Structures are given as structure tokens and as C-alpha cells.
Structure 1
Amino acid sequence: MLTAQLQQQIRKAQHQLRSALPNYRTRPGQNKLIAEIAHTIAGSYHRHERIALVEAGTGTGKSLAYLLATIPYALAENKKVVIATATVALQEQLVSKDLPFFQRHAGLEFEFCLVKGRQRYACIERLTERLQQPELFPAAQSKSMRLLEKLLKAWHNRSWLGDWDSLPFAVPDSLWQDIQADPFHCHRSNRRHQQCPFHLARAEITNSDVLVTNQAFLLADLDAGNSQLPAPEDSIYVIDEGHHLVDSARSFFSASCPLLQQEGWLEKALKFSQRMQANLPESSLKTLLKLQDHIDDFRREYSIISQQVPSYARSWFEGSKQYRFTDAALPLVISDKAESLAQLSQHILNKLEQLHQQVREAITEQLLPVKAISTTLQELSFFDQRFGQHQALWHLYAQAQDKLVHQARWVEQAEDNDHQVIAFASPLLLQAQLDRLLFRPAFACILCSATLTSLNSFSYPLKELGLDDFEGVRTLQVSSPFSYAEQGTVILPMMKHEPTAPTFTAELCQVLPDYLPEGEASLVLFASYWQMQEVAESLRQKGFSLLVQGEAARQSLLDQHQQLIKAGKTSILFGTQSFSEGLDLPGSLLTNLVITKLPFAVPTSPLEEAMSEAVTKRGGNPFLQLTVPATAKKLVQACGRLLRQEQDHGQIVILDRRLVSKTYGKAMLDALPPFKRHIHY
């Protein structure tokens, strides 16, 4: 239970934060959030299922609310608070703004840190090695060497923290991959690597009470048995931007892998294992011989696929670069080999890990030639990645699909190589995985978002997350303190055509200029790049000056937008779906939001098709059960760009007549905040 002492501590911390915040206004919604979250994690509602879904509208002070509710309890009960977000922007806000402010003024002694994946850190030893031994990297260009020299200098003078996010200048992806930390090169057992950025960052975890990470990393760590983060039973999880959790989980548990042109690197893997017999002590011979046997077996099994898939590909890609396997039913040549390839690739990964350990010992004992060290580690890392890809794919393909299919499976032609086929597998339902990894073992779990419900109901997210059968799950919806009816207006202009009509784009070009007022900040959201580009070309011919997504870096566009508005000029931003979420343009930076069409998912996506197919087989209606709730949620997110502060104002123009002409339209409109409405029908 939440003790009187803890309640008093929370109230005291909240009072001190209020005193430190300029122009602070009491928010009843925030108080409700704090109380509900605190009672949930204390077990006041259910001793074991300490789970809550919280939707907190813009301006409720959600971040400070969950910090106030979780940190005092965690400190008192010797738990850790793990905050997992979906976007880097929110992680940066928490670590650079919210947590430092909370730490200074709440009167609580605690430490916090940001936890990122290994690949977001550079290995300083690898970087130094590239500079000292350029002959080992024949592809190195003089420009790359100059960049590496600048990076090393920045590291030594501490103007760079050694990670991707604090890079002082742009670094090509290919060069970053050559210097990023990985478990083969950058191992803590090697004394020279103990001061690498990744290991320095990981050392902070032990002493931190609050850990900020992303949802993908959290899921990966849970799946790996908590190799970095605290154990679930010792953790209070706050899943911020919780509406992304299912997509984050689906992405993590999905797999893809090239099916063809595998002979070259498999031959190299075999030669590598043979060559290592001459470089490693005799004690490694057993591991190397086993590795060779497994690679030989894998090549032999895989040869059948290499021979037969090209003939299938000719029919798969007639008129399309994608082909989905209906009901997840694979061709026999693939399904027959899936289980053996999954097992063999796992055996190979196990032997590579043993070999890595033996290589590290050989390096420590100086038994491996210096010139061979870098090449050996590079090859180990490469083969581990390739066989890891195969293991993930064949593991999913080996799973039997019953009458109720639970995977989407498809193939695609590679964009840069018509002779290459990429195979994909993605789970349709994530309830079992989230239950096993997160909800059951966690001490407490709070999912929060400004857009967690769909059509004003928690039914959709509860079912999607697999929480509809949990007795102890709490749900709370806290409205925004904004005066929506006074601050904003939703306008539905008369449109002749629906977005599905071939003439809709032409009508957009005709109507849109009437809703781009001079001297104001406009954001126009499109459902597709091609339509955005066509409309942009048309409006530019009419004399409009536009800032279009894709024509410059996102931050550069936003900087230009801000400069224009500050100078009292007109600014019109064109963007797609990624601009409808996580974009913060407060005050005069956005007064006119235009949504050209409802953000329905692309119906031709293999994943969407498979999900619809599965719902239909269960006797459901995929459009009503999947498409409409998902689209309604995205529409609310898009409309959330307009009002970011209590003094903001503006209008939202929606150029999609389906909100009026279709039966689902009213439910979508009613799910929006209570703006004033002007409907021209």
C-alpha cells in the first residue's frame, strides 16, 4: 500500500517543484495522474498485477506526474525506474530537461542515466586502429581518414561524447559501422577497451536509480535475460509513448534475410574456420572442427533453396516487387528446410561465441599475431551477424501455422539487385511475447501516452496488448487543460471528391491555396510522398514558397520555418506521416494545420494484408476492428500538433469528405478534442 509517509513525500516534492516552475498553474488532471500511478505501483488495487494504461492529454504535465509517482516509491522500496520511449526526441527531453529539473528541485537524492544500444557508441580502439594501421583497411579514403582524425581529437578534448547522437559533424553510415562498438571488438575483458564510450556509459547503470531508454532496447534486453537493465521484478517500467509498444515489439520480433547469392560468404566462413586452425592454439581445434561441420551441413541444406527459389521468383514478381504467402503457407522447398536451417544456424552461432572467447584468450596471452587480430574480430562479427539473420528468419519459418495464422510471411525483390530475394516474417499478435517478457515478470508497468485510446475507448489497446484478461489493470483518461473550443477550430471544407478518386489530387491543388493564410505558420500533412510532391509542384507554379520534407534535413526545415515566422513572414511546411507525431511547434510556430486525407494504412502492405486476413478467418471485420481504430488514433495524433501550450490557438482544416460521408466519420470526429467545428456540408 501507499504509506502516509510516501504520500507526504510526494506532496512535498510536488510543492517544491511548483515553487521552482515559473507561472505554474495547479492542474487537477496532473494530481489525478500522480495519485493513480502511485497507487497502482504500490499495489493498492492489485497485489501482483500492478499495471495501468494512462491517457494524458497535451498540457497535463504527464512526465512530471509519473516522475513524482514512481521515484519516491522506487527509492523507498529499493526498485529502479526504467522509462522507455519510442522516440529519441522524448529521451533527450527527459535526460536534458525534465530529470535535471526534477533532481534539482524535488528534494530527492537519486541518479539517472540514458541507456542506448551498443551500436550507437563508437569503439575508440577501433577508431585508433584504423588510423594507425590504414593498410588493414584498403578501402579507406583520405576523406574518411580526416574524419576519423577529427573524431579522435574531439574525443580527447571532450567535445564529443563518443556516441552517434553527439557527433560534432556528419559521419557516413558505412564509416560508422567500421568504428561502432560491437561485442566482438569492444569487450570489457580487454583492458584497452574499458575506457570506451559504451563501457563508460554502462558503468553508470549500476549507480542509477532512473534509467531512460527506448522501447526497442528494453525489449531486446528483456529477451536477452536482462544483460544490461535491472531485472523485471526490481523494475518499475514507465512505457511513455505507449501507443508505439506493439509496433516496437513487432519490429523487434520480426526477421528478414536474403535468400539467394549466399554461396560467397558461406565459402568465406568455411575458409575462415580452416584458416583459424593455424592461428589459434590446439585447444581450439575441437571448436573449429565442429564449426566447419555445421557450416558444411548448412551449405548443403541451403543449396536446395539456392537451386529452386529462382524459378519460384519468376512467378512471385510478375508485375510486383512483393509477394505475400497467403495464410503464411510457404513453398515446400522453404518449409521443408526451415527447421534444420534454424537449428544449424543456432549451432553455428554457439560455436562462433565459443570461438570468440578463445580468440580473446589468445589475444590476452599474445598467441595471435597482431596483424591478424583486427581481421579476425571483423570476420567473427560479420559471420555472427549473417548467421544471426538466418537463425531469426528460419526460427520463425519453422513455426507451424494452425488454422488461426499468427505470422505474416512474404518476399521482396531487392531494390538494388533484381536477382536477390529478401524473405520476411513478422508476428501478427504480440500478446504472448509481451506477457512473457514484460507484464508478468515486472514489478509494475505504467503505459502512458497522449493518444492511447481509440475512438475514446481502451478496448482496442487492451486487446492489442493482451491485457484484456488481467484483473488488476487500471485505465485512466485525463483530459487536456486546454480550452479547445476557445483556442481552436476544426474546419471541414466542401470537397467534391473522396481521396480514393483519381481527381482528388487535382482538387487538392485547387482548394489548398484558400487555406494557406499569409503571415501565418502552416503545416500541411500528406498521406503519401508522391501526392505531396505533385501538390508542391503545382503550388510553386502558383507562386507559393514551400518547405517540403525530404528536400532538406528535418531540423534544417524546422529552423528555416522558425526563422520565417520570427521575421513575420509566411511559412508553409509540407510533410508526411512522420511530421504528424513528435513535432513540437508551439505558439506562433503553428497556427494553421491542414490534413489532406485520413491517415489510413497502406492496404497493399503485406503485414496489413496478413492481419486483415487473420481477422477475417476469425469471423471479424478487419476494417472496423483494425483499420478504423488505428486511423482514428493517428488522426488524433496529427491534430495534437496544433495546440502545444495553454495560450496557443489556430485552426485545423481536414480535406477528407469521408468524415461526413462515411458511417465511421462521426466516431472519428467525436474522438478529437472538443474543438469548435465548422462543417461546410
Structure 2
Amino acid sequence: MLSDTEKQALQDLYRLLAQRLPHFRPRAAQRQMLAEIAHTFALAREASTDSPAVVDRVNSGRHIAVIEGPTGVGKSLAYLLAGMVMALSRGKKLIVSSATVALQEQLVNRDLPTLIEHSELDVSYALAKGRGRYLCPYRLYQMTGQDTAADLPFDRQFAIWDHKPLQGELSFLRLLAEQFQAQQWSGDRDDWPEVIDDRLWQKITNDRHGCLKSRCPQRQQCPFYLARDVLEKVDVVVTNHDLLLADASMGGGVVLPAPSQSLYCIDEAHHLAKKAVGQFAAEHSLLQAQSWLKKTTELLNRCLSFLPSADAVLLTQDTMQALHDELSQLHAILQNEARFTETDNPAPWLFEQGLLPEGLAVVAGNMALMSASLMKQLTTCGEALLEARKQHPDDELTIDHYSSELGMVMGQHERMAAVWQHMAQHVEPPIPPIAKWITQKREAKKVDFMISASPISAASALSQTLWQKVSAAVLTSATLRSLGKFDLLLQQTGLGWLDDVRCVALPSPFDFAQQGELYLPPMQANPRDSAAHTAEIISILPTLIDTAEAVGSLVLFSSRRQMLDVAAGLPPAWRDVLLVQGELPKAVLLAQHQQRIAAGQASVIFGLDSFAEGLDLPGEQCVHVIIAKLPFAMPDDPVGQTLAQWITARGGNPFLEISVPEASIKLVQAVGRLIRTERDYGRVSILDNRLLKQAYGRQLLAALPPFRRI
């Protein structure tokens, strides 16, 4: 329960912020959100996860709340203030996770410093990033021949390169090394002033397998470990959903603080389920897998003199040869598969409801067993190298180099093992299937195949890796309900399996009926007829937007093709006021838009889905939002198609169960670009007659803010 001391602290700090924060406006919804979060965190679990009491509480979900806080509520202040007070009071860390870099930067660069300064709370914070965002100095020095890696023979020095590095690549790597050694660069990829090529960066970063950890001679200056050491000391950790999910999938507490010792604020929570599906997906290329198997064989031959048992190495090499042969046979089978030979650009081979044909099912079973066995054998070899280091102190440098390379190839084989574990998995209804597909790739004269697999639902994975382990969690966003309900979010995240998860929809601080209006023009064309619909939009836009009026308009499209066709079809005079997404960097486009409005000119932005969320154009910058088409997402990707097949097989309707609810969320987000403050005003126009002609249209309209209809 929330203690009297905690209640008083929250009340006193909120009053203090109200006095000190410039432009602060007290909001009832913000105070309600603060109270909901504090009460949820007061139910944070304290006992071991093995305790029956904890199991009961996990099943009840009392330690988790879902809070929809519309624009203008002041969500970040509410969850940061409540989270910091409760974390300090309960001796826990506060972890704040977001889906976008923009919100992370806002939290770290603006919200947290401002809140701490004016509240005078003694709170420290840091931004958490994945290992892959940091330089591995050991690898960099291998590449450049500097420091302890200088004595490595050339063939070993560049063993992790697919090709001998070019002079320009070496020169750039040496520049990185010099800047890092001179402490003029932190080793954080995001701090380098220019974009570092992905392929080059992969050579000088590391993963958990390749890292030498405490044995690394560069451990004291390693950017990743220095950053992780900071995370252990601060009170608030700001991270992203990808790292949050990756840490959870490894058991939690690997990069981020342990879940049982943390309070979670998951902002932009409507992205969490899809992020999780992507986190648990896996894929690998047949030819690249064969290449890595050969490299691993060569590496083990070099390690042989330091390993106590040649038999173990031979057994591992036998497994790799068997895997190589199985992949070769699979490659031959796929090259002769009719669906790949009868067309130049074949569609992916998607296995309906994740069911493999008998022959491929046998291959998948064999590959799953052998790839899992290989991971165990390579782990044994890695442990043997650790022991050899103690017995051969004069060869520590060489052994460490081999250990690093072995870890790197283990990361590749782990991905292969994950793919085949998914491919071999067969589930029975009502459990959702695994999406499985094979894609042909052509590069020069080579024909390759990408083997891919992914869960279609993250509900089970999130339940096991996150909800059963967290001390307490709050999920929030401006839009979490679909068609006025939380059902879709609860289903996709696995929170629907918990009985007592609290769902709260906070009221908006805006008077929508007074500030805005909704207009549904009498459109004739069916949006499914793209050519006719586009022509009608070109015809009607000049009647909706007065380009002589010095205000901003935002026109949102679901299709890039339609956006470009409409832009090209408008009268020439429109080019003077039109800004089209993709023609300029986003920051430059928005700056030009703001400059035009400030100069007393009209400005019209054409944008896609990414402009329908998170774009903030207050006041005169946006007084008219025009939505060209309802944002239905067609299940044209393998995961979406498999999900649709599964719903259909259960007697459901994928369009009504998935497409319409997801479109509702996107439509509310798009409409939300209009009213950003209590002083904003304007109109929303939707150019899609299905809102009036289809039954689901009434549901979509009912979920929109209560604008005045005209």
C-alpha cells in the first residue's frame, strides 16, 4: 500500500513543481495519472519469484497498470515524478522505456533535467543502449594493429573480415582508434559526427559471445562496460523497447537492472507487442551459414594446440560437417523448387499456418537438433580455452584472440539455431502458430535462400520474460484503446491473461467540441479504386485548403504512390506551398514549414504514416488535418499473412479482428495531430466514404474525439 509519507512527498513535490515550472498548468488528469502510478508501484513485488504469494500476484496482475493519457495530460511529468519518488522510497530502480529515439532524447535532455532541477530531488539518471552501439576497443586494435594486437600475424589479425580491408577502411579505423585513445571520442557510435557504415561497424563492435569480459585487456576502457557500470549506480535508466526486450529475453538483469529490482514505465506502449514479435523472430542465409561453418572449422584447427581433447574438437567438426551437408542438400532442393524457378522475382514461400511439407519438416528437425548440439559443443570449447589460458600464461594474447573469434562465430550459429528451433516447432490449436517462410536471393551469379521464422504473437513471450518477472510496471501512451477498448493491447501483450491488470483511460484536457470540427466530404470514389480516388483527391484538395491563408495544413496518406501522384496532379501554384515527405530531411521540412507560417505564408505538408504519430505542430502550424484514406494495414508480410490464416482457421474474420482495430488506433493518432494545446483550433477532413457506408465506419467514428460534425 502507498504509505502516508509517500503520499505527502508526492503532494508536496507536485505543488513545488506547480510553483516553479514555467508555463505549468495544473491538470486533474495529470494528478489522476500520478496517483494511479504511485498506487501501482506501491504493489511492487518484494518476494522471490518462486514464492507462492508472488505467483498469485503475478497471476492477478495487480502490479501492472495500463494508462491511456491523451495529448496535453503531461504524461512524462506524471510518470517520472511518481516513478522517482516510489523508486527512491522502495529502494528500486526506475526504468523508463520508449519506442522512439525522439522521446528518449526528450526525456534525457529536457524532461529529467528540468524535473530534477525544480523538484530538488537527489536523483541520477543515464541512457542505456545495447552493446552493439558501442565500440569494442579490442577488436578495433586488432583491425589497426595498435596496442596489444600489434603482434598478431596478418592472417589472424583479419580473420573476422570477409575480405582483406581496403586502405580507405584501414585509414578510417585508425582515425577512430586515435580519437578513442585521445579520449576525443567516447566509443559510442551515436557520438561520432558522421554516419559509420553498418558493414564496417560490425567489425569493431561485439556481442555477448565474442566479448572477453573480465579477461579483455581493454576492459578498463571499454565503452560498453563503462556505460553499464554507470547504470548500476544511477536511480533512473532511460532505454528503448528493443533493449528492454533483448535484456528480458536473456533472463533480465544482463544489461539493464534486474526486473525484480526495478519499476517500469513503458511509454509509447502501443509499439511494444510488434517490437516483441520482431525481437523473437530469426533468420539466416544458407550460403552465409555454410561460410561460417567453414570459418569455424578453420578456427578450431588453430585452437587445437590449446584444447585438452582433440576428440571434442573432432566431434564438433563432425557436427559442423553434417550441418554443412544438410544445408547443401536443402540448397539443392530449393534451387529445383518450381516456385523459385518459374519466375525471376518469386514471392517468399510461406508455409500456411506454419506447417512444413513432410520433407522440409524432416530437414528442420535434423537442423534443430544439430544446431543445438553445435552450440553446446562450441560452448565446451570456449570453456576449455578459458582453462588453457591459466595453463599457458605466455600465450594469453593468442588464446584471448581465439576466444573472441570463437564467441563471434557462436553469435552467428546461435542465430541459425534459433531459426531451426522455430522451423521445427509445431504447435496445436489454440496456440498461435509460428510464421515460417523462405525467400530466394540473387546476388551476381549466386542463388541464395533466406530461412525466416517468427512468432505471430508476442503474448506468451512477454508473459514469460517480462510480466512474470517485473516488480511493477505501468504501460502508457496517448493512444492505447482500439475502438474505445483496451482489448487489442491486452491480447497482443499477454496482459489479457492476468485478471487484475488495471486499465485507465484519462480524460483529455481539451474541449474538442469547441476547438475542432470533423468534416466528411461527399466522396464518390471507392478508395479501393486507387486511380479514381486519387483523381478525386486532386480535385477536392483546392476546395479544402485556401493557399492564400497563412496557416498550416497536414495531409496524410497511407500510400507513397498516391501521395506523389496527388502532389504531381495539383495545380502548379501549389508547389510554392507544398512540402512532401521524402523530398527533404524531416527536420529541414518542418523548419521550412514553421518559417513559412512565421512569415505569414501558407504551408501544406504531405506525409505518410510516420507523420501521423509524434508530429507536434501547435497553433497556426496546423489548423487542418486531411486524411486521404483509412489506414488499413493489409497483411502482405509473412507474419501478418500467417496471423490472418490462423484467425480464419478458427472461424474468425482477420479484417474485423485485426485490421479494423489497428486502423482505429492509427486514425485516432492521425486525428490527434490537430489539437495539441488548449489554444489550438481547426478541422479534420477524412476523404474516405467507407466511414459512412460501412458498418465498421460507425465504430471508427465513435472512437474519435468528440469534434463538432459539419
**TM-score, scaled to structure 1:** 0.91
Q: State the Cα distance separating 1:155 from its structure 2 match.
A: 4.3
Separation in 2, partners of 1:152, 1:559: 36
Q: State the Cα distance separating 1:223 from its structure 2 match.
A: 1.6
Separation in 2, partners of 1:638, 1:538: 24
Name the counterpart of 1:507: 536
Name the counterpart of 1:631: 663
Name the counterpart of 2:104: 91
Separation in 2, partners of 1:488, 1:159: 52
| Paired residue type of 1:630 | E
Matched-pair contact (CA < 8 Å) for 2:355–2:426: no
Which runs of no fewer than 5 residues in structure 1 stay unpaired?
none
Question: How many positions carry a matched residue from both structures?
Answer: 675
Matched-pair contact (CA < 8 Å) for 2:268–2:476: yes
Counterpart selection for 1:281 from 306, 311, 325: 306
Separation in 1, partners of 2:114, 2:535: 50
Query: Which range is displaced more, 24-33 or 122-131?
Result: 122-131
- Tell me: CA distance 1:179–1:254, structure 2 relative to 1, closer, same or farther (3 Å): same
Name the counterpart of 2:235: 209
Q: State the Cα distance separating 1:194 from its structure 2 match.
A: 2.3
Name the counterpart of 2:89: 76
Separation in 1, partners of 2:357, 2:247: 34
- Tell me: CA distance 1:262–1:7, structure 2 relative to 1, closer, same or farther (3 Å): closer
Separation in 1, partners of 2:380, 2:44: 48
- Tell me: CA distance 1:143–1:487, structure 2 relative to 1, closer, same or farther (3 Å): farther
Which SS does the other structure have where 2:504 is aligned?
A: strand
Q: State the Cα distance separating 1:122 from its structure 2 match.
A: 1.8
| Paired residue type of 1:525 | L
- Tell me: CA distance 1:513–1:185, structure 2 relative to 1, closer, same or farther (3 Å): farther
Name the counterpart of 2:561: 530
Q: State the Cα distance separating 1:160 from its structure 2 match.
A: 4.2
| Paired residue type of 1:535 | V
Matched-pair contact (CA < 8 Å) for 1:123–1:186: no
| Paired residue type of 1:536 | A
Which SS does the other structure have where 2:575 is aligned?
A: coil
Matched-pair contact (CA < 8 Å) for 2:289–2:416: no
Q: Deviations over 1:388-419 (max 9, x none)?
A: 22111111111113244522222223375783
Matched-pair contact (CA < 8 Å) for 1:317–1:323: no
Name the counterpart of 1:42: 42
- Tell me: CA distance 1:110–1:262, structure 2 relative to 1, closer, same or farther (3 Å): closer
Which SS does the other structure have where 1:256 is aligned?
A: strand
Matched-pair contact (CA < 8 Å) for 1:362–1:368: no
Q: Deviations over 1:310-356 (max 9, x none)?
A: 22253587574223211211122321122331232223233434444
- Tell me: CA distance 1:494–1:7, structure 2 relative to 1, closer, same or farther (3 Å): same
Separation in 1, partners of 2:533, 2:378: 56
Q: State the Cα distance separating 1:300 from its structure 2 match.
A: 3.1
Q: State the Cα distance separating 1:571 from its structure 2 match.
A: 3.1
Q: State the Cα distance separating 1:78 from its structure 2 match.
A: 1.3
Which SS does the other structure have where 2:645 is aligned?
A: helix
Q: State the Cα distance separating 1:99 from its structure 2 match.
A: 1.4
Counterpart selection for 2:415 from 372, 389, 395: 389
Query: Which range is displaced more, 614-623 or 510-519?
Result: 510-519
Instruction: Kindly indicate whether residue 187 of structure 2 is the aligned counterpart of residue 162 of structure 1.
Output: yes
Instruction: Kindly indicate whether residue 256 of structure 2 is the aligned counterpart of residue 224 of structure 1.
Output: no
Query: Which range is displaced more, 383-392 or 4-13?
Result: 383-392
Q: State the Cα distance separating 1:256 from its structure 2 match.
A: 1.7
Query: Which range is displaced more, 190-199 or 552-561?
Result: 552-561
When the two chains are superposed, the root-mean-square deviation of aligned CA atoms in Å is 2.9
Counterpart selection for 1:475 from 503, 515, 539: 503
Counterpart selection for 1:191 from 192, 217, 231: 217
Separation in 2, partners of 1:159, 1:47: 50
Name the counterpart of 1:302: 327
- Tell me: CA distance 1:591–1:468, structure 2 relative to 1, closer, same or farther (3 Å): same
Matched-pair contact (CA < 8 Å) for 2:286–2:449: yes
Counterpart selection for 2:455 from 420, 427, 442: 427
Q: State the Cα distance separating 1:251 from its structure 2 match.
A: 0.7
Matched-pair contact (CA < 8 Å) for 1:520–1:565: yes
Matched-pair contact (CA < 8 Å) for 1:328–1:408: yes
Separation in 2, partners of 1:510, 1:428: 41
Separation in 2, partners of 1:619, 1:58: 38
Q: State the Cα distance separating 1:120 from its structure 2 match.
A: 1.1
Name the counterpart of 1:256: 283
Q: Deviations over 1:77-109 (max 9, x none)?
A: 212211121111111111111112222222332
Which SS does the other structure have where 2:527 is aligned?
A: coil
| Paired residue type of 1:101 | T
Matched-pair contact (CA < 8 Å) for 1:120–1:165: yes
Matched-pair contact (CA < 8 Å) for 2:290–2:327: no
**TM-score, scaled to structure 2:** 0.88
Which SS does the other structure have where 1:419 is aligned?
A: strand
Instruction: Kindly indicate whether residue 522 of structure 2 is the aligned counterpart of residue 491 of structure 1.
Output: no
- Tell me: CA distance 1:665–1:159, structure 2 relative to 1, closer, same or farther (3 Å): farther
- Tell me: CA distance 1:177–1:590, structure 2 relative to 1, closer, same or farther (3 Å): farther
Matches within 5 A, 1:114-153: 114-132=127-145, 139-145=164-170, 147-148=172-173, 151-152=176-177
Which SS does the other structure have where 2:22 is aligned?
A: coil
| Paired residue type of 1:272 | L
Q: State the Cα distance separating 1:30 from its structure 2 match.
A: 0.6
| Paired residue type of 1:180 | T
Name the counterpart of 1:180: 205
Q: State the Cα distance separating 1:246 from its structure 2 match.
A: 0.9
Q: State the Cα distance separating 1:448 from its structure 2 match.
A: 0.7
- Tell me: CA distance 1:152–1:283, structure 2 relative to 1, closer, same or farther (3 Å): same
Which SS does the other structure have where 2:683 is aligned?
A: strand
- Tell me: CA distance 1:560–1:171, structure 2 relative to 1, closer, same or farther (3 Å): farther
| Paired residue type of 2:448 | Q
- Tell me: CA distance 1:314–1:85, structure 2 relative to 1, closer, same or farther (3 Å): same
Name the counterpart of 2:681: 649
Name the counterpart of 2:268: 241
Matched-pair contact (CA < 8 Å) for 2:339–2:346: no
Name the counterpart of 2:627: 595
Counterpart selection for 2:359 from 295, 312, 333: 333
Instruction: Kindly indicate whether residue 381 of structure 2 is the aligned counterpart of residue 349 of structure 1.
Output: no
Name the counterpart of 1:102: 115
Which runs of no fewer than 5 residues in structure 2 stay unpaired?
46-55
Which SS does the other structure have where 1:468 is aligned?
A: helix
Separation in 2, partners of 1:571, 1:150: 44
Separation in 2, partners of 1:615, 1:378: 46
Separation in 1, partners of 2:387, 2:221: 20
Separation in 2, partners of 1:316, 1:77: 63
Query: Which range is displaced more, 560-569 or 59-68?
Result: 560-569
Query: Which range is displaced more, 472-481 or 557-566?
Result: 557-566
Identity over the aligned pairs, expressed in percent?
38
